[in-house]
Each structure stands twice: as structure tokens, then as C-alpha cells.
Amino acid sequence: MVALGALLNNLFSQTTNWLNNQHRSDLSLPELCEQLLSNKGEVTGLSLARDILDQFEEQNSEGQKAFLTTLVTEFDLDTNELNVALKMYEADPDKASYSKLMTAVTSRRQTLFRKLNELPGATQRLVNMRKTLLELLPAHPELAVIDQDLKQLFTSWFNRGFLVLQPISWSSPAHILEKIIAYEAVHAIESWDDLRRRLQPADRRCFAFFHPAMPDEPLIFVEIALSKEIPGAIQAILADHNEADDGRPKTATFYSISNCQTGLAGISFGNSLIKTVVSELRREFESLEKFVTLSPLPVFADWLSSQTLTEPVSLEKDQYITDLAACYLVHAKTQSGAPFDPVARFHLGNGARIHALHANADMSENGKSRSHAVMVNYLYDLKKLEENHQKFAVDGVIACSGKVKDRADATLDLLPELKV
């Protein structure tokens, strides 16, 4: 089978090289795309797809922007065809008219992206194309329709049924470990020794989601500390430790969750990852009773600096800063009414509850500048997840412990803008 696979790969390579020598050297990217959309042959289609992706990646920023702009203007929906198809379906909603309508509501861009994705390895390259697109969007909002197409496709291609959960350990392949170091987004991994401290001890775990089309690229990963008690500071977790490990931990703490692929922004993996990992850990450790996070408040310091307090308080005092943080998590909202804190939105949306706040919990420069060194435990109570999720999703109810709620309410007098 290996020899046959090598033979077929060699045959494809020779065939596509021959085709490349016959034509297309002077064609523009839009012209290549038109050829791919009209092409019926599989080998020629794969060769065209490779040429398109190669040329796009070779372009400078201006060239890539020009091509993406062409995708907006020249590869959009055919509104005349759509109107005709809609009228046909309204008049006679049968299989044929429905099929014609579904074809008409699919932009030529989406069809192009699907054809490009038939090329082996193209999924990663399309994810990278969306990364480029997202970088351009703030200055070129007219490109947002392309993002809608790619996001719709990626939501389908990267749904939970296709994702593979893999444990990451100190013995994992070096190229995977290098990417864990590079993609860590919450607590930077400073060295290989730092990574070893997170992966090698018996009371540490790490899991990542992979996709079969991108087997060497983690999509998202979570780092976990196993212990008896709920931790209140990240320093102890990240440091060398000699905690006695009897193999019967009671608490699993998710202390870092990192999305790896910028081009998959907005495609939700975290909810599935946490719930899948909880199931894995429960199978391994029957002793586990609590599943919590130790999470940052990444925009708390910026938010607090924008507030006018009714009386001066010392932010250096533990009680004041955790009370203000409690009030922020429970009462600060976006214009749409969602919690202001993005990490809170994620965990509360998963059905977790705010359990406890800790001062001096992240004394790194990043932790002090962004969170005033405060961290929060979100508790995943498996019996209450669905109830908490429903109340949050439907009514905006924030699940939190009585102690956090009392502290949040008592601090409202200091933050008059939250009482409006």
C-alpha cells in the first residue's frame, strides 16, 4: 500500500508538472479562478487549485488585497439567477426547484473555496488566507462578505465530529511541542524547561484538538493542574513543585486555554474541548470532584481606569481590588448586555459559575498590567451546567457564588456608572 501511494503521488506530481508547463504561466489569479470554476477534470482541477494558492501566497499585501477585492466584486451571488430561482421555488417547491435555489444562494466564492479545498493540504492554506483577510478587514470592511463565506465553510469543516482529541505530553513529537510553546497565549512558555514543568509531572495534563486535514497543527489546547484543593495563584502552578501525588486528585484546574489558529477566529472549540477533557479526566481519575479554571481578567485594568470612583481607594489592598473585580465581573456589561469580560462570557456561556476571586494571583508583568494581578476561579459544576447555560443564554443571569455576589453588590456604591 505504501508503494502504491508513492506511485500515485509521483504520477500526480508528474502530471501536474506537465500541465503547468503547458499553460497558465501568464494567467492572472482571477483568470485561474474562472478556469477552476469551469473545470471538470480532477487532475487539472487540483493543479489549478495549487497554482491559485501558490500565487496568492506569493503576492505582497497589496496584491492579496486586490485579489480579495476581486472576489467581492466578480465572484459574488448572481442576484438575477437568485430571484428567478426563488420565484420558481415559490411557485413549485419540489426537489428540482429547491436544488436550483440552493445553488443560487451559494456565492461563486464559496464554490471556489470548496474546489480549492480538494487539493491535499489546502485546508491549512485557506485558514491562513482567512488570517490575511482578518488583518485587512479593519481598514477594508467591504471584504467582510468573504469572511462570511469562509466562516460558514469552516464552521462546517471544523465541527466537533471531525475533531480529534490528543493528549500532549513531554514525550510528544518535538514539532508539536514547539507549536505548544509558540501558541501559548495566556501564560508564556519561556523555555523548554518551563514546558517540561507543565507536561512532565504526574499531576499535570495537556490536551489539544486536531483536525484530520491539519494533523500537525493544534487548533486549541488546554493545560491542567491536578491537586487536592482549588488553587488561588498561578505562580505555584507554573513553578517547580514537589507536591505529594497519591494519584487521587480531587480538583482539576484548567489554567490556560489557547486558540492556535488566527484564521479560525470565531469558530468555537473551547466549549467542546473542556467538556471532552472533563470526560477524559473522569475516566482516568475517579477521585476528581471539582473542575475549575484559574483565569485572568484580561481587560479589567483598562476597564477600571475608565471608571470614576465615588471615593479614592487603594488598589494595592487585596480586599479593595478583589471587591472591584467582583463588581466588574457581575455588573459590568457591554452595550448588548453581555458581561464585559471576554473570558467571563466564554465560561459563563459554557454553564460555569464564578466561584472565587484571588488577589496577587498572577504577579507576572502581564498579570499586573492587565488584571491588577487578580485571577478568578470559574467552577464547572457538572450537575448545573445546562441550567446555568440556559439561564445565561436566555435571561443573561450570571451564575456566581453567594460570596462573590455579595461583594459585587456591596461595591456598586463605588462605581456609580454601573448603577445607571
Mean pLDDT, the chain, as a whole number? 91
Cβ–Cβ under 8 Å, residues 163 and 213: no
Residue 314: what pLDDT? 80
Domain containing 116 equals 2-157
- The three-state secondary structure class of 360 is coil
34 with 153, same domain: the answer is yes
387-407: pLDDT as tens digits: 999 999 999 999 999 999 999
Predicted structure pTM score: 0.88
**Is residue 24 scored above 70 in pLDDT?**
no
**Is residue 2 scored above 50 in pLDDT?**
no
Q: How many CB atoms lie within 10 A of CB 96?
A: 11
Listed residue (168, 177, 188) closest to 234, CA to CA: 188
Residue 333 DSSP one-character state: B
30 with 104, same domain: the answer is yes
Residue 184: what pLDDT? 96
116-165: pLDDT as tens digits: 999 999 999 999 999 999 999 999 999 999 999 999 999 999 999 999 99
Q: How confident is the model at residue 12 (pLDDT cuts 50, 70, 90)?
A: low
Q: What is the CATH number of the domain that holds 173?
A: 3.40.630.180
Instruction: Please identify every residue annotated as catalytic.
Output: 295, 347
From 293, 310, 341, give the residue that closes a domain: 293
125 with 200, same domain: the answer is no
Beta carbons within 8 Å of 274's beta carbon, 6+ residues apart:
222, 254, 257, 350, 380
91 with 225, same domain: the answer is no
Q: What is the CATH number of the domain that holds 96?
A: 1.20.140.90
Cβ–Cβ under 8 Å, residues 86 and 101: yes
Residue 41: what pLDDT? 77
193 with 215, same domain: the answer is yes
Overall number of domains in the chain: 3
319-328: pLDDT as tens digits: 899 999 999 9
From 131, 157, 183, give the residue that closes a domain: 157
Residue 13: what pLDDT? 55
151 with 26, same domain: the answer is yes
From 245, 270, 293, give the residue that closes a domain: 293
Rounded distance between C-alpha atoms, residue 62 and residue 257, angstroms: 34
